[in-house]
Every structure is written in structure tokens, then in C-alpha cells.
């Protein structure tokens, strides 16, 4: 049985990933991470309503990636659930847009949250061949493309350490305008995803026996993106948004598909893509 932890799995892309894991792979056991316990329980009820047998292979885990205490408590829950077994994979799906707390919230959830979960749960992963999937965004490469050449080199440098990424976040939060003048760019959401892509490189370097990769799910209709359509007076479909099931395609490939190497970033078509510029789905796969 392959045990898989998915964060932010109670709705949207995370729920689509969770459902596909259970329905398409009967040798899997799902740990359904949710920031809110009630929402996690509701997601389990939805899965059971579709197929009662699925409920036997899923356990809800209260997990707020922005909280050290919550991650620590979730680690104990997962360790108990595993009963000595190992995790096959960690899917870092939980994310935040540009909410009430602005840049700080985006960075705390999208970047620090991924690091917080990975560092806590890596000891529970299968040491040889365990997988880490990071659901990122095309906003990351787009952000890097708008940076100065010096900043671009930083984001592509696998030899950096987490402390370097943390320092860059502090620099941005201290004075976003000044950081932009120094070639960093001004979009906090894009920055959060560019940083988590670089963190993917770092993890792959530090854990060569694991398969660590990131991807963009594409432009997907979720609670996070639906407001974009509303603000533009259009429907999600009119803006080209796809369904959460479509958004699960690339993460599922990184989770259970045949991979060649580690430390890569994939497009929504599950093809390798560059970290420093956008590659449209269906265009030639990146190979450098």
C-alpha cells in the first residue's frame, strides 16, 4: 500500500488530486490534509458518497501549513496512521493568493508553508524513491522573466540554501518598491512561486535519492481564481480557466508517473518547462 499525504486536499485541485489517487489506484492510502478539521471531514463525506469503499483508504489530517504547531501535530497524526510504514509521497498543494494580508500571506503559505511541511515530513518518506510534489504556478517563471539578470541567476541556482530564500523574502517584505528597483520584481504571488521553484532545486540537491519536482496546474477555476473572472465581468470559462480535474494532471504525473530525474519544473501538460520563462502547453518540452 502506498501512503500519500496531500495538503489542501479538501477542495479544488487538492480534492481532485485526492479523488484521482483513490479512484485510479486501489493500492493507495490517502492522508487528506485540510487546514480546517470540519472541511476535511466534509471532503471525506463527499468521497464516501461517491464510493463508500474509498472512505476505508482515507484519513483526514488537520494541517495548516502556515502554522508550526499545526504541522507538528499533523506529523504526530500521520506517524500514528502509518504505523511504522513510510510515506510514498508528499503533495504540497495548499496555497494562497493575494489575500487580506497581502504579500506576507502569499509568502507564508506558498513558500514557507511548503518548506515547513517538507522539512517536517521528509523523515517519514521512503528513503529511496520517495516523492515530493510541489504544486507551483506559471506565475513563478513569469516573475523570474521580469527580474534583472542577476536576480534570474539567483532563482536558477541550486546551490543556494533556504536561508538565502528567507533573506530574499525579508528583503521584499521590508520594502517592496525598493526591492523592485533592485531588479526583484513586484508581484508577491509570483515571487512566492519563483522561490518555491528554487526550493525544489535545493531539495533535489540535498536529497538525491528522492524524486522532488514542481509543476503548474494551469489556469484552473478555484476559489482562489474565481474572483479574477468576477472582477473582469467574465465567466471562468470565458477567461480560459479549466477544471480542477484538469489541474490535477501534472501533479498526478509527478506523483505516480514515470519520471526522468529530479529537481525539475513541469507545465500543466506534464512536460518539463523552464524556471525563467513561460512555456505554453503543447509547445516543445524544455530539455536544458
Active site residues: 189
Q: Are strands 272-273 and 264-266 parallel, antiparallel or unpaired?
A: antiparallel
As a whole number of angstroms, the distance between CA 116 and CA 35 comes to 14
As a whole number of angstroms, the distance between CA 8 and CA 43 comes to 11
Grid coordinates representing 59?
484519513
Q: Which among 34, 27, 8 has a CA at the least distance from the CA of 110?
A: 8
SS3 state of residue 56: helix
Please state the length of the chain. Answer: 288
Question: Do 129 and 87 meet the contact criterion of CB atoms below 8 Å apart?
Answer: no
SS3 state of residue 249: helix
- For 129: left if phi > 0, alpha if psi spans -120 to 50, otherwise beta; the answer is left
As a whole number of angstroms, the distance between CA 11 and CA 109 comes to 16
Amino acid at each position: 500500500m502506498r501512503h500519500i499525504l496531500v495538503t489542501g486536499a479538501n477542495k479544488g485541485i487538492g480534492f481532485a488530486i485526492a479523488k484521482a489517487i483513490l479512484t485510479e489506484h486501489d493500492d493507495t492510502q490517502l492522508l487528506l490534509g485540510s487546514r480546517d478539521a470540519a472541511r476535511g471531514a466534509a471532503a471525506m463525506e463527499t468521497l464516501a458518497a461517491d464510493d463508500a469503499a474509498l472512505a476505508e483508504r482515507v484519513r483526514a489530517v488537520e494541517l495548516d501549513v502556515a502554522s508550526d504547531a499545526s504541522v507538528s501535530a499533523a506529523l504526530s497524526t500521520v506517524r500514528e496512521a502509518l504505523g511504522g510504514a513510510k510515506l510514498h509521497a508528499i503533495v504540497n498543494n495548499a496555497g494562497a493568493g493575494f489575500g487580506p494580508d497581502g504579500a506576507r500571506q502569499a509568502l507564508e503559505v506558498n513558500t514557507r508553508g511548503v518548506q515547513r511541511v517538507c522539512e517536517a515530513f521528509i523523515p517519514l518518506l521512503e528513503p529511496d524513491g520517495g516523492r515530493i510534489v510541489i504544486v507551483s504556478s506559471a506565475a513563478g517563471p513569469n516573475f523570474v522573466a521580469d527580474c534583472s539578470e542577476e536576480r534570474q541567476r539567483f532563482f536558477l541556482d541550486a546551490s543556494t540554501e533556504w536561508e538565502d530564500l528567507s533573506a530574499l523574502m525579508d528583503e521584499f517584505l521590508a520594502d517592496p518598491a525598493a526591492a523592485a528597483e533592485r531588479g526583484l520584481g513586484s508581484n508577491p504571488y509570483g515571487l512566492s512561486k519563483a522561490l518555491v521553484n528554487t526550493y525544489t532545486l535545493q531539495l533535489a540537491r540535498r536529497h538525491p535519492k528522492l524524486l522532488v519536482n514542481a509543476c503548474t496546474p494551469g489556469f484552473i477555476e478555484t476559489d482562489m481564481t474565481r474572483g479574477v473572472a468576477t472582477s473582469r465581468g467574465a465567466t471562468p470559462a470565458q477567461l480560459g480557466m479549466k477544471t480542477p480535474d484538469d489541474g490535477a494532471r501534472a501533479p498526478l504525473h509527478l506523483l505516480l508517473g514515470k519520471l526522468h530525474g529530479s529537481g525539475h519544473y513541469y507545465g500543466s501538460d506534464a512536460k518539463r518547462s523552464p524556471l525563467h520563462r513561460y512555456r505554453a502547453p503543447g509547445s516543445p518540452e524544455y530539455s536544458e
